[in-house]
């Protein structure tokens, strides 16, 4: 019997009817015991369904109202399965499985971009043409556009795996060809501060704990989460350094940095040691977090990106120095050492990169400046750079 299969389930006999609807292979169960008459009934039922599909007159819920696919195809009684429903359900489901920063990106993409665009569409109704039309109207870079589509791609991949749709429509779209050339490549370039600018800006921060945090950040090259997540037990004053073993992202602590290479020991420059020593009477006995935001509403007074940016913006007032986001302090650390001839492989280890490719690509100009001095001097001179020491002297 083509498309009709008798099955036995826990002493219960049923028939399974198979057919294709909107490119999806469907299998539904009819609760009838096995008999010649019931077999003929199921064959007539399947023929009727196929006829209505050919005439574009088939409503899933009319035949299988309790089926999950009836809701997905929008034919369930009083039910619809829109992309908004599917994406919001996915968002809540992965909240505990994704890293906090990744989940924050997914949540923003779903709530601010995807739902307003296609949320009211049925899961099975989204076509490649819809995606092309929307993508062609975007003014963001290609990488940002791809990131915004990530949760939608995940939802549609699941739908393909569940045989609800025949293919993922995003796979049929070449996003790069829909954007003008200036949007295809990232225009990001490091924009580091000079040491003179750092002296002026850090000196313009009034609160001791805030000033110490930014001075330490500028002269260690930490990622934001690594700075916020640094604990006193990880500090080894005898070895003049500290271990990076954890990070704090989106106000969530996690027991490892961004990558395995991020687990490292950093020897402190004089300016970094100065900032750390200044923090000892402020936080060492108060708790295990080194740098805290006393204005935080959290019990552990943890910093977050927004509060750090506010402090850094205030530091620029009245200085005439062009504002860059605080993450440029990491780029300042790397570019200063590279331009003074420090070995790129050593800088990669300090930054927590697995290889030197990222350093060479991101800081090509400063690597070239360092090459003019030569990389023949050993890494032990790290921490003894005159330019970095100058801040330490001026802040004494």
Per-residue pLDDT tens digits for 329-353: 999 999 988 888 888 888 999 999 8
| DSSP secondary structure letters along 113-124 | IIHHHHTTSBGG
The C-alpha atoms of residue 22 and residue 125 are separated, in whole angstroms, by 9
**pLDDT exceeds 90 at position 190:** no
Q: Per-residue confidence at 186, pLDDT binned at 50, 70, 90?
A: low
Q: What are phi and psi of 6, to 5 degrees?
A: -75, 135
The pLDDT score that the predictor gives to residue 388 is: 45
Q: What are phi and psi of 12, to 5 degrees?
A: -115, 130
Per-residue pLDDT averaged across 287-314, rounded? Answer: 85
**pLDDT exceeds 60 at position 382:** no
The C-alpha atoms of residue 117 and residue 115 are separated, in whole angstroms, by 5
Instruction: Spell out a b/e string for 17-34, using b for 16 or more CB atoms within 10 Å of the CB, else e.
Output: bebebeebebebebebee
Between 119-128, 281-290, 366-375, the lowest mean confidence (pLDDT) is in 366-375
The pLDDT score that the predictor gives to residue 326 is: 94
Q: Per-residue confidence at 395, pLDDT binned at 50, 70, 90?
A: very low
Q: What residues does 339 pair with on adjacent strands?
A: none
DSSP-derived secondary structure letter, 268: P
Three-state DSSP at 69 gives: helix
Half-sphere exposure of 341 (CA within 13 A, CB side): 14
Three-state DSSP at 74 gives: coil
The pLDDT score that the predictor gives to residue 257 is: 67
**pLDDT exceeds 70 at position 164:** yes
The pLDDT score that the predictor gives to residue 389 is: 46
Q: Per-residue confidence at 73, pLDDT binned at 50, 70, 90?
A: confident
Q: Per-residue confidence at 255, pLDDT binned at 50, 70, 90?
A: low
Per-residue pLDDT tens digits for 115-157: 999 998 888 889 999 999 999 999 988 889 999 999 999 999 9
User: Which tokens go with 8?
Assistant: 């036995």
Residue in 111, 70, 77 with CA at minimum distance from that of residue 91: 111
Q: Model-level pTM?
A: 0.60
**pLDDT exceeds 70 at position 102:** yes
Q: Domain 195-395 belongs to what topology?
A: hpI Integrase; Chain A (1.10.443)
Q: What are phi and psi of 217, to 5 degrees?
A: -60, -45
**Higher pLDDT, residue 59 or 325:** 325
**pLDDT exceeds 50 at position 392:** no
CATH 1.10.443.10 spans which residues of the chain? 195-395
DSSP-derived secondary structure letter, 112: I
Residue in 358, 254, 379, 248 with CA at minimum distance from that of residue 301: 248
The pLDDT score that the predictor gives to residue 258 is: 61
Residue in 200, 203, 223, 246 with CA at minimum distance from that of residue 326: 223
Between 97-111, 162-176, 222-236, 287-301, the lowest mean confidence (pLDDT) is in 287-301
Q: Per-residue confidence at 204, pLDDT binned at 50, 70, 90?
A: very high
Per-residue pLDDT averaged across 176-180, rounded? Answer: 87
| Average of per-residue pLDDT values in the chain | 85
**Higher pLDDT, residue 49 or 375:** 49
User: Which tokens go with 317?
Assistant: 């007032």
The pLDDT score that the predictor gives to residue 65 is: 78
CATH 1.10.150.130 spans which residues of the chain? 83-184
The pLDDT score that the predictor gives to residue 189 is: 73
Q: What are phi and psi of 82, to 5 degrees?
A: -85, 165
* Level-2 CATH architecture, domain 83-184: Orthogonal Bundle (1.10)
Q: Per-residue confidence at 231, pLDDT binned at 50, 70, 90?
A: very high
* Residue pair 27/16 in contact by the 8 Å Cβ criterion: yes
The C-alpha atoms of residue 346 and residue 336 are separated, in whole angstroms, by 13
> What residues contact 7, with CB distance under 8 A and at least 6 apart?
13, 14, 15, 16, 29
The C-alpha atoms of residue 242 and residue 230 are separated, in whole angstroms, by 9
Per-residue pLDDT averaged across 15-40, rounded? Answer: 91
Half-sphere exposure of 315 (CA within 13 A, CB side): 28
The C-alpha atoms of residue 165 and residue 159 are separated, in whole angstroms, by 6
Between 116-125, 231-240, 309-318, the lowest mean confidence (pLDDT) is in 116-125
């Amino acid at each position: 019997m083509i498309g009709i299969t008798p099955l036995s389930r826990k002493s219960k006999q049923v028939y399974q009817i198979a057919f294709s609807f909107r490119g999806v292979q469907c299998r539904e169960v009819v609760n009838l015991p096995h008999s010649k008459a019931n077999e003929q009934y199921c064959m007539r039922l399947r023929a009727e369904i196929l006829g209505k599909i050919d005439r574009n007159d088939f409503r899933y819920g009319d035949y299988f109202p309790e089926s999950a696919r009836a809701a997905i195809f929008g034919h369930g009684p009083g039910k619809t399965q829109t992309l908004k429903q599917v994406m919001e359900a996915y968002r809540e489901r992965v909240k505990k499985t994704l890293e906090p920063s990744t989940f924050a990106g997914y949540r923003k993409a779903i709530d601010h971009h995807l739902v307003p665009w296609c949320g009211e569409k049925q899961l099975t109704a989204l076509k490649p043409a819809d995606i092309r039309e929307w993508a062609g109207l975007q003014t963001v870079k290609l990488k940002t556009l791809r990131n915004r589509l990530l949760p939608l791609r995940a939802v549609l991949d699941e739908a393909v795996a569940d045989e609800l749709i025949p293919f993922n429509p995003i796979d049929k779209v070449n996003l790069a060809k829909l954007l003008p050339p200036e949007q295809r490549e990232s225009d990001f370039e490091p924009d580091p501060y000079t040491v003179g600018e750092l002296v002026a800006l850090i000196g313009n921060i009034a609160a001791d704990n805030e000033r110490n945090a930014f001075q330490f950040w500028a002269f260690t090259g930490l990622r934001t989460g690594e700075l916020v997540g640094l604990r006193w037990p990880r500090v080894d004053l005898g070895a003049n350094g500290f271990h990076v073993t954890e990070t704090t992202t989106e106000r969530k602590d996690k027991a490892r940095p961004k990558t395995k290479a991020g687990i490292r020991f950093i020897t402190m420059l004089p300016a970094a040691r100065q900032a750390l020593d200044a923090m000892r009477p402020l936080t060492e006995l108060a708790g295990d977090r080194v740098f805290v935001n006393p204005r935080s509403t959290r019990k552990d007074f943890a910093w977050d990106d927004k509060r750090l940016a506010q402090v850094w913006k205030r530091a620029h007032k009245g200085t005439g120095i062009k504002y860059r986001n605080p993450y440029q302090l990491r780029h300042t650390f790397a570019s200063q050492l590279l331009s003074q001839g420090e070995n790129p492989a050593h800088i990669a280890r300090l930054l927590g990169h697995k290889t030197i490719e990222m350093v060479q690509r991101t800081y090509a100009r400063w690597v070239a400046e360092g090459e003019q001095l030569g990389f023949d001097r050993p890494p032990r001179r790290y921490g003894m750079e005159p330019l970095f020491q100058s801040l330490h002297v001026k802040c004494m």
